């Protein structure tokens, strides 16, 4: 079975690089091919990398609280670019202030994200979700 390819990065003006590096290493060690775009990534950069790498999923990170603004319209842009149905994950501190996570998750799901992870989610949780959603055997 060929490796599944992920495009990861930190969206918007966010420059939190440490978590991104941790995810890169965790996903690589779990057997994924990972295209790491680094920090300050635009929606268009994620989409272009996903097309170029024939990615199976896009994993968006955000820690500075503006993820909701940065992610708005991303699913529609993916669809328009020919990535209809690509797995779309987001995680981190993705909204401003303290908000009930179930409400945050519902908003991001409405925006077209398949999975939404709260701050402090262990990489293993995301890896397990990816394996389930990409129908990979352990």
At CA 59, angle to CA 107 and CA 54, rounded to 5?
125
93 marked ligand binding residue: yes
Task: Verify whether residue 66 is a known catalytic residue.
Answer: no
133 marked ligand binding residue: no
Could you give the CA distance from residue 130 to residue 40 in angstroms, rounded to a whole number?
23
97 marked ligand binding residue: yes
Query: Locate tokens 């987001």: which residue?
Result: 90
Task: Verify whether residue 16 is a known catalytic residue.
Answer: yes
66 marked ligand binding residue: no
Asked if 37 and 12 count as a contact pair (C-beta separation under 8 A), the reply is no
Query: Locate tokens 């293993």: which residue?
Result: 124
Query: Locate tokens 């779309």: which residue?
Result: 88
25 marked ligand binding residue: no
Q: 16, 66, 114, 133: which one is catalytic?
A: 16
63 marked ligand binding residue: yes
42 marked ligand binding residue: no
Can you name the residues that pair with 88 across neighbouring β-strands?
A: 58
Which residues make up each annotated binding site? 13-17, 61-63, 93-97
Query: Any idea which residues carry the catalytic annotation?
Result: 14, 16
- Residue positions forming the annotated binding site for adenosylcob(III)alamin: 13-17, 61-63, 93-97
């Amino acid at each position: 079975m060929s490796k599944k390819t992920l495009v990861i990065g930190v969206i918007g003006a966010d420059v939190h690089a440490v978590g991104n590096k941790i995810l890169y290493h965790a996903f690589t060690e779990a057997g994924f091919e990972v295209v790491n775009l680094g920090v300050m990534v635009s929606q268009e950069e994620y989409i272009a990398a996903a097309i170029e790498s024939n990615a199976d999923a896009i994993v968006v990170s955000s820690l500075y609280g503006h993820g909701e603004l940065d992610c708005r319209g991303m699913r529609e842009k993916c669809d328009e670019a020919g990535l209809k149905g690509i797995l779309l994950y987001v995680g981190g501190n993705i909204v401003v202030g303290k908000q009930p996570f179930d409400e945050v998750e519902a908003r991001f799901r409405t925006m077209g994200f398949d999975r939404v992870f709260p701050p402090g989610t262990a990489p293993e949780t995301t890896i397990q979700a990816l394996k389930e959603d990409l129908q990979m055997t352990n």
